[in-house]
Chain A
Amino acid sequence: MPLETRVYQKERTINIGALLKASIRDIYKSRFLARQLAERDIKAQYRQSYLGIIWAFIAPLATALVWIVLNKTGTVRLSDTGIPYPVYAFSGTLIWSIIVAAINSPIQSTNAAKGILTKINFPKEALIMSGIYKLLFDSAIKIILLILFVFAFGVGFHWSLLLFPLAIFGAILFGTTMGLFITPMGLLYQDIGKIITFGMQFLMYVTPVVYAIPESGIMKAIMTWNPITPIVLTARDLVVGFSPEHINYFLMVLVVCIPFLFLGLIIYRISIPIIVERLSA
């Protein structure tokens, strides 16, 4: 068997195809590592906590509750959403929390592995994948809770519910792509992570998370164009059994995401050695 040869040097010709192939090969090769890392983190997280799983959905639940109370008491007057408002608010905040978690996932997984990144050579893509596994685990819990919630409010079962995981998959795909692009800079400067956390709070209000898109005005334009809008709306429509009006824009976002996801993976692959150097220097 010929030995695998590796060459490390400064002069590199950037070959997008070869890099992408190497990246995807490493993702496949490191599938056990990715699972192991995810399993490790999930186990450790729940072993050292009594409330455990509750932390996965307590934040979106709280946000939803605030808005439910604001709406019920008439403090804030919201336009009719077509479904019971608690279902609207809670499905919105849950889907939103999945998107936010997906955006933060690559940077968090990589940051947490700083210690081994500077010492051991392993397929770094495993970090991204382990982040996705953790997202899927958390999202599964959130989805189950959401479905219970929906049934409790008498919305009932619709066949479209079976497509709901696909919408969540879309949310994760979108979030991971975004996250991959900010990861290299975010690892160098802590400011990036803070800006994301901060910015996402505002972004929530131009996305139909807790209220519907208004009938007219500047807000309507922004919310309609916002690429997160179709993800949230499609996911919600599938849960409550409406026909997904924004499915075209949703699919468009996903189709655009895929080449960007690959590009993000390539950038990630190129930037890790540069970042490791700055972390350990």
Chain B
Amino acid sequence: MSKKQDTLLDNEVLVKVEGLSKKFCKDLKTSLWYGVKDLVSGVRGSSEERELRPKEFWAIKDINFELKRGECLGLIGHNGAGKSTLLKILNGLINPDAGKVTIKGRVGALIELGAGFNPILSGRENIYNNGAILGFSRKEIDSKLEAIIDFAELQEFIDMPVQHYSSGMKVRLGFAVAAQMEPDVLIIDEVLAVGDLGFILKCFKTIDAILPQTAVIFVSHNMPMVSRICSQIILMDKGKVKYQGENVSKGIDQYYNSFLTGEESSLVYTDNSISLEEAFIEGVEPINGIYQVSWGDTIQLNFKIKNLTLSKMPYISLVIYDKEQRGVAEIFPTGQQLNDIEYKGFIDFSFKLNNIYLSKGIYHLTFNASESKSFNTYYKIHKAISIKIDHEEQMWTPFLLDSELINFKN
């Protein structure tokens, strides 16, 4: 292949989706009956009906996008937003009800790993079963067999029946076979969730390696992964596009914002010695229970607790969680004097938090009161305060540190 052709190929649109819609039926019996009707109309030649029949709804409605080689489209959205349905149409498993999909080249799908495995047969035999379904010839599998076994790290167990494999081992074997595909278009659905960390990293290394030659469509609920590999994004909601564009961060942000319901705090533990009565940020009005703070601001956190049985000041510490409930920072305010107290009543605490360099997004503060630092917890409550950090840069890492160029040599 000449160099010129190569560059031509690179600019080629591999996936083109125009006005794609699909309807589904809510009721099984009706759905089956429509299936019969569709069979008849399908065999006779399709008619032009596009309206919803009773009990039907649009599972996806009017989706448009184009994808070139080397690009990666992230598909995100709630469960049932239509992501998997869209993938099924792209993969040619079901026909659209309106619109058109044009796909060029070999399509590889990582939707189900280990398809065609028979539990009674050995890993080695199942490599052939799975490989055959993915479209390999016997010769191809013969030549790739060793690579597959090595990749799956299953040398020792390759002749054992697959039913005795752990679920992680099965996924490893399945991925190892699938990794041998050389697709032009790759469709990935939430399959990499299983397996241990080492294997997930290996999977991503493989995907990274094929990304430049491939147009990838990636469905995931794992936003860090989406922002890591996607060059454009579609946020779907109830079958429709809510956000579409190359600003991946913006799409992810909108996705997170769609979960901003139920921000009530939740009590995790109490020994009934104190209770948290109030928690707020000084001088900030919450919107829907969320305090908006600009990146780098210094804020004052106020807590009011009711002392029920304590005779000594509690030690207060805070933990910051991001929207995926990963702990990202801890706060141990200095200067706390754990003196004896006599008064059974309210105690007000105010803590200053200097220069918050958390990156843009929603964070929750967990309030923790204990006898002393990390010892004998009295009271612990999640989401005592919810904060939204404002900044123009959206990123998936939890911190945006304050930095500037001070010098450079040429």
Contact = CB atoms under 8 A, between A and B. Distances in A.
Sorted from nearest, which 10 A-B pairs have the closest CB atoms?
Answer: A36-B132, A119-B112, A278-B35, A3-B105, A9-B100, A33-B132, A277-B94, A8-B101, A3-B104, A116-B115
A13 interface: yes
A14 interface: yes
A148 interface: no
Interface in A20-48: 32-33, 36-37, 40-41, 43-44, 47-48
B111 A119 contact: yes
Contacts of B88: 118, 276, 280
B114 to A, nearest CB: 10
Contacts of A41: 118
Interface stretch (B38-46, B148-156, B384-392, B399-407): B38-46
Contacts, number: 152
A188 B30 CA distance: 11
Interface string B1-36: 000000000001010000000001100000110111
A32 B137 CA distance: 7
B93 A276 contact: yes
A170 B96 CA distance: 39
B109 interface: yes
B129 to A, nearest CB: 5
Contacts of B14: 3
A10 B98 contact: yes
Interface string B292-314: 00000000000000000000000
Contacts of A189: 32
A54 interface: no
Given A36-B128, A43-B118, 7 more contacts: A8-B89, A8-B96, A36-B132, A40-B129, A122-B133, A188-B35, A281-B24
A185 B132 contact: no
B31 A9 contact: no
B32 A12 contact: no
Contact of A274 (B42, B91, B133, B184): B42
Contact of B36 (A37, A185, A273): A185
Contacts of B133: 33, 116, 120, 122
Interface residues of B, number: 55
A76 to B, nearest CB: 43
A146 interface: no
A117 interface: yes
Contact of B46 (A4, A12, A48, A116): A12
A32 B129 CA distance: 10
Given A43-B121, A278-B31, A120 B115 contact: yes
Given A44-B120, A271-B42, A116 B112 contact: yes
Interface in A251-280: 267, 270-271, 273-278, 280
A118 B12 CA distance: 29
B115 A119 contact: yes
B100 A37 contact: no
B43 A271 contact: yes
A215 interface: no
A52 to B, nearest CB: 13
16 contacts: A4-B104, A8-B101, A43-B120, A44-B118, A115-B115, A118-B93, A119-B109, A119-B111, A120-B111, A120-B115, A121-B107, A121-B109, A184-B39, A185-B39, A188-B32, A277-B35
A6 interface: yes
A6 B99 CA distance: 14
B135 interface: yes
In this complex, the interface size class of chain A, counting residues with CB under 8 Å from chain B, is 35 or more
A33 B116 CA distance: 10
A152 interface: no
A3 B215 CA distance: 13
A281 to B, nearest CB: 5
Contacts of A10: 46, 95-99
Contacts of B31: 278, 281
A7 interface: yes
Interface string B72-112: 00000000000000001111111111111111111101011
A85 B314 CA distance: 98
B125 interface: yes
A7 B43 contact: no
Contacts of B39: 184-185, 188, 270-271, 274-275
Nearest to B25: A281
Contacts of A43: 118, 120-121, 125
Contacts of A40: 116, 118, 121, 125, 129
Given A119-B112, A267-B43, A274-B35, A8 B95 contact: yes
B38 A274 contact: yes
A131 B124 CA distance: 23
A5 interface: yes
Contact of A48 (B32, B106, B112, B120): B120
Contacts of B25: 281
A11 interface: yes
A8 B46 CA distance: 13
A116 B174 CA distance: 13
A6 B132 CA distance: 21
